[in-house]
Amino acid sequence: MKLFTNIGCLAQIRDADENIIRGSKMNDLPSIEKAWLAVKNGLILDFGAMSDLDRSAYTGFQEISIGNRLVLPTWVDSHTHLVFASWRAQEFEDRINGLTYEEIANRGGGILNSAKAIALASEDELFEAAMQRLDQLIKMGTGAIEIKSGYGLDLDAEMKMLRVINRIKAETQVPVKATFLGAHAFPSAYKGREQAYVDYVINDMIPAVAEAQLADYIDVFCEKGYFNIAQTEAIMDAGAAHGLKSKIHVNQFNAFGGVKACVERNAISVDHLEELNNEDVDSLVGSATIPVALPSCSFFLSIPYTPAKKLMDADLPLALASDYNPGSTPSGNMNFVVSLACIKMNMTPNAAINAATINAAAAMEISHEVGSITVGKKASFMVFEQGANTSFIPYSFGRNTISDVYINGEKYSQ
């Protein structure tokens, strides 16, 4: 049991029924200046203003002074490809030398490159490497994470990736959601008979993944040259028939009706949205599907940023995630994601913080556990360096302004 006192500012405090923040309300970040926070069994027991603290109610609690610094709930990263076998720095050079991400993929690089490496890697190797990356992310403030398969592209290798993700889920201290992304790219062996791969995903992979209970969600890379609308719909429907809700890669390079198809199928989230037209926005209005922006991917590939203002003007919520993967986003640093959202997407620091905490928790259905300072949620929070306020965090891009990360009430160090 711990009593954290002298918190300079305790930000992102919410009632338990506040799970998603929309439109202009994203510009508000409720907080208490000069606050305390009590923790029991790793959960938030209570919090309030120092002026109202009744210490006699907390006898037996270890008191820890936060030294007048800013406290925020840990970041929630609702979209990553954390499990991979090797980096793809050669493609980075190829792009500098003039090739596009799509041209590299068409030459058999890209996702297929990662699939070759996964086939050769052991489960232990994949697990160790991903746990090491996750350790680095937690030190940078990530307190919950979604992880996708999608570099297997055949049943055995996809199952191998999902087993690794589930092992991470069992062993790490932060909440993890596992997403099956068998429909990430067409393996070269299926060139010219792409529908046969879609049938394989539907008839063989989805039933096996569901039977083994290895996935929380299903994902598809819905994009020109990858999975078209009809194929995406068929895979989402097959997933739904096996109890898998969807989170879909859509509108990364082209807006061609994918968002509407996802909304009609009650996708939990639609992720990327760098290309977004009015019909896409209209289809999201009134739905429960959460738009997710991945600005580090836009930065790294030099593609447009998700139009946050367009979404927020329609009173929609927006979440932010890293998209950490070896091809389009070799960084899972959520502090940088929040900086980019402010610098490149013109989001206010408060809006970006809401997008990377409470809305991101909703985008992976863990609002009851993380995403805000709320009684009963996990006591997972970041303590920032002396003098930092909420705008100083994104302003200080590229530098870690976090002094300490607490996960379930314990200082994180590994």
CB of 320 to Fe ion, least distance (A): 13
CB of 249 to ligand NIG, least distance (A): 5
Look at residue 394 and give its three-state secondary structure: helix
Q: Is 14 in the site for ligand NIG (CB under 6 A)?
A: no
CB of 330 to Fe ion, least distance (A): 12
Q: Is 167 in the site for ligand NIG (CB under 6 A)?
A: no
CB of 85 to ligand NIG, least distance (A): 11
- Sequence-distant (6+) residues with CB within 8 A of 147 are 80, 81, 82, 83, 130, 165, 168, 176, 177, 178, 179
Residue 143 touches which member of ligand NIG, Fe ion, none, C-beta under 5-8 Å by kind: none
161 contacts 152 by C-beta, under 8 angstroms: yes
Binding to ligand NIG (CB under 6 A) within 310-339 occurs at: 323, 325-328
Q: Is 247 in the site for ligand NIG (CB under 6 A)?
A: no
CB of 221 to ligand NIG, least distance (A): 5
Find how far residue 43's CA is from the centre of its chain: 22
Provide the residue count of the chain: 414
Nearer to Fe ion, 233 or 323 (CB): 323
- Sequence-distant (6+) residues with CB within 8 A of 267 are 236, 245, 246, 247, 248, 289
Give the DSSP H/E element, type plus range, for residue 222.
strand 217-222
End-to-end CA distance of the chain: 21
Residue 327 touches which member of Fe ion, ligand NIG, none, C-beta under 5-8 Å by kind: ligand NIG
Number of residues that bind ligand NIG (CB under 6 A): 13
Contact residue for ligand NIG among 231, 252, 298, 333 (CB under 6 A): 252
Binding to ligand NIG (CB under 6 A) within 109-138 occurs at: 110-111, 114
Structure tokens at 177: 């959601």
CB of 229 to Fe ion, least distance (A): 19
131 contacts 172 by C-beta, under 8 angstroms: yes
Q: Is 297 in the site for ligand NIG (CB under 6 A)?
A: yes
Task: In whole angstroms, give the CA distance from residue 237 to residue 243.
Answer: 10
Name the segment binding ligand NIG (CB under 6 A); options: 107-115, 168-176, 187-195, 254-262.
Answer: 107-115
Residue with tokens 């309300």: 25
| C-alpha distances out from residue 288 to 25, 263, 355, Å | 17, 8, 16
Task: In whole angstroms, give the CA distance from residue 53 to residue 114.
Answer: 54
Contact residue for Fe ion among 154, 216, 219, 323 (CB under 5 A): 323
Residue 73 touches which member of ligand NIG, Fe ion, none, C-beta under 5-8 Å by kind: none
Nearer to Fe ion, 2 or 247 (CB): 247
Nearer to Fe ion, 325 or 348 (CB): 325
Find how far residue 319's CA is from the centre of its chain: 8
Structure tokens at 372: 């805000």
Name beta bridge partners: 171.
none
Name the segment binding Fe ion (CB under 5 A); options: 203-211, 224-232, 283-291, 322-330.
Answer: 322-330
Find how far residue 351's CA is from the centre of its chain: 16
Q: Is 409 in the site for ligand NIG (CB under 6 A)?
A: no
Nearer to ligand NIG, 27 or 331 (CB): 331
CB of 184 to ligand NIG, least distance (A): 6
Of 42, 52, 41, the C-alpha closest to 10 is: 52
CB of 88 to ligand NIG, least distance (A): 7
Q: Is 221 in the site for ligand NIG (CB under 6 A)?
A: yes
Number of residues that bind Fe ion (CB under 5 A): 1
| C-alpha distances out from residue 65 to 161, 180, 220, Å | 42, 43, 47
The residues binding Fe ion (CB under 5 A) are: 323
Residues that bind ligand NIG in the complex, under the rule CB under 6 A: 81, 110-111, 114, 221, 249, 252, 297, 323, 325-328
